[in-house]
Amino acid sequence: MPGTSPSDRVWLRDPLAVHLGAGVDPNRAARGIVIDRTTGTIVELVPAGGEPRSGGVPTSGGEPTSAGAVGALDAGGTLEIIDASEHVITPGLINTHHHFYQTLTRAWAPVADLPLFGWLQNLYPIWARLTPRALELATTVAMAELLESGCTTAADHHYLFPTGMDEAIDIQVDVVRKLGMRAMLTRGSMSLGEADGGLPPQQTVQKSDVILADSRRLVETYHQRGPGVQIQIGFAPCSPFSVTTELMRDSAALAADLDVRLHTHLAETIDEEDFCRETFGLRTVDYLESVGWLGERTWLAHGVHFDDSEIGRLGAAGVSVAHCPTSNMRLASGIARAVELEDAGVNVGLGVDGSASNDASNLIREVRQALYIQRLRYGAEAVTCDRVLDWATKGSAAALGRDDIGTIEVGKQADLAMFRLDGLAFSGSHDPIPALVLCGAEKADRVMVGGQWRVVDGHAIGADGHALDKESLIAAHQEEARRLVAG
Ligand SMILES: [Zn+2]
């Protein structure tokens, strides 16, 4: 996603700390990171005591400031210097599971204290009233919130297509382009209504042939392939209790045919496990295998209730899991066996999940939640700050099938998050990486996607270069949220 810029290259100089990845020596980038804006990639890590090879010291431009100073490169281009001495730099965080539309039903009292099935049955009729305008606003709010928390790539699972919402994913594509983030938009689906033994009300389900035709259309229209792409499409039947077995099977076949990824909720709650046993006579992973989903193309939301042999099978098959700690705590679903899944070969990524079960779209906050919930299961030594940061970056990238993002390395996309450790919350802290996670960072100061600044001074900047008008956005979104619940 290269764009035009007054400077060819940017040097993020002398960062306070850098997370290159668990076990990778941060001194390799002690003096910073050089980005080529024309290609949108990282071109150099500057080691301790070094200077950028690709341009040398700028010959003019004065002292660098937080806004950057521009100097001449030896090679003839220009180099902008950003003083990063007060920033912790991480790879751009990657969110692997969300339902953007749910920002319209955050903290709704009737479901505030219910577990998954009761929560869903109360919310389905509300969600069935979704409109194109409400979805556009909800998507903008969720993505901007993610972006300002340090997220550069976001996956969404949209499975609601009531009457008038045929172009739901097209609407989301427009928002992604306006914000200049990367996205994995999944064409979700529900085809098993109450009348046929499923959980969702009949007006929220679609016929299989309609779902599959639209899935194909979306891939042919929007799906990009190769390094640095902005938009990808995946297929995401909602869950075992809301789609037919045939649709699960047909979605897997179409995904293989078109070479795109597959996503669904699995093993989130004991209620779901009971449903699978009673309806299919199978445990969740057996069901997954029976419909042709046990493979590298698949990433699962939650994956809380797996036994030892299932963890081994998922790892051997190369399946990925989106761990959603806050949602699992909010709905009291359980504690995912994330460390054992990763040790077995599963790619573990992080997801904030939909805003009706989190209720925030804040990914750096989710890193902290993952650290703490997983320490309850595995102890403090096995669940380090570095390991959990890897889940939110490298693990999440792998879960989305991408190897061009998720780490800070030469040749990778310049997707970066920069956090300031200022304010009362960080006062008295000693080591920057643990401080980022343990003291509870909330917002990134700067975020770069493909070499372009998308957050500056903590505020989202659209792809058109203008600051997002958050005041108007919130007012309009709040109005739609009220209207939806009022009916
Ligand atoms: Zn979900």
Instruction: Determine the distance separating the centroid of ligand 1 and the alpha carbon of 324, expressed in angstroms.
Output: 8
Neighbours of 52 (CB within 10 A): 23
Q: Above 90 in pLDDT, residue 77?
A: no
In this structure, are 439 and 387 located in the same domain?
no
Confidence at residue 147, expressed as pLDDT on a 0 to 100 scale: 98
In this structure, are 276 and 376 located in the same domain?
yes
Instruction: Determine the distance separating the centroid of ligand 1 and the alpha carbon of 73, expressed in angstroms.
Output: 48
Question: Whole-number mean pLDDT of the chain?
Answer: 93
Instruction: State the Cα torsion 362-130-121-486 to the nearest 10°.
Output: 100
- Asked if residue 378 belongs to a domain, the reply is yes
In this structure, are 302 and 437 located in the same domain?
no
- Within 30-150, strands assigned E span 32-36, 41-46, 69-72, 78-83, 87-91, 93-95
Instruction: Determine the distance separating the centroid of ligand 1 and the alpha carbon of 91, expressed in angstroms.
Output: 24
Instruction: Determine the distance separating the centroid of ligand 1 and the alpha carbon of 263, expressed in angstroms.
Output: 10
Q: What would the mean pLDDT of 321-334 be, rounded to a whole number?
A: 96
Tell me: the pLDDT tens digits for 388-443?
Answer: 999 999 999 999 999 999 999 999 999 999 999 999 999 999 999 999 999 999 99
Confidence at residue 6, expressed as pLDDT on a 0 to 100 scale: 55
266: which strand partners?
302
Instruction: Determine the distance separating the centroid of ligand 1 and the alpha carbon of 234, expressed in angstroms.
Output: 15
In this structure, are 132 and 250 located in the same domain?
yes
What confidence tier does 54 reach under pLDDT thresholds 50, 70, 90? low
- Asked if residue 467 belongs to a domain, the reply is no
- Within 37-166, strands assigned E span 41-46, 69-72, 78-83, 87-91, 93-95, 151-158
Whole-structure pTM value: 0.95
- Asked if residue 475 belongs to a domain, the reply is no
User: Residue 71 has what DSSP assignment?
Assistant: E
In this structure, are 131 and 83 located in the same domain?
no
Instruction: Determine the distance separating the centroid of ligand 1 and the alpha carbon of 353, expressed in angstroms.
Output: 5
Instruction: Determine the distance separating the centroid of ligand 1 and the alpha carbon of 99, expressed in angstroms.
Output: 6
Q: Above 90 in pLDDT, residue 58?
A: no
Instruction: Determine the distance separating the centroid of ligand 1 and the alpha carbon of 262, expressed in angstroms.
Output: 14
- How far apart, in Å, do the first and last CA atoms of the chain sit? 41
Instruction: Determine the distance separating the centroid of ligand 1 and the alpha carbon of 134, expressed in angstroms.
Output: 19
User: Can you read off the two tokens belonging to residue 32?
Assistant: 């910073």
Q: Tally the domains of the chain.
A: 2
CATH of the domain at 263: 3.20.20.140
Instruction: Determine the distance separating the centroid of ligand 1 and the alpha carbon of 78, expressed in angstroms.
Output: 45
Confidence at residue 50, expressed as pLDDT on a 0 to 100 scale: 95
Instruction: Determine the distance separating the centroid of ligand 1 and the alpha carbon of 301, expressed in angstroms.
Output: 6
Tell me: the pLDDT tens digits for 214-254?
Answer: 999 999 999 999 999 999 999 999 998 899 999 999 999 99
Q: Above 60 in pLDDT, residue 63?
A: no
Instruction: Determine the distance separating the centroid of ligand 1 and the alpha carbon of 155, expressed in angstroms.
Output: 11
In this structure, are 430 and 386 located in the same domain?
no
Instruction: Determine the distance separating the centroid of ligand 1 and the alpha carbon of 268, expressed in angstroms.
Output: 9
Q: Above 90 in pLDDT, residue 88?
A: yes
What confidence tier does 76 reach under pLDDT thresholds 50, 70, 90? low
The range of the structural domain enclosing residue 425 comes to 6-90+413-460
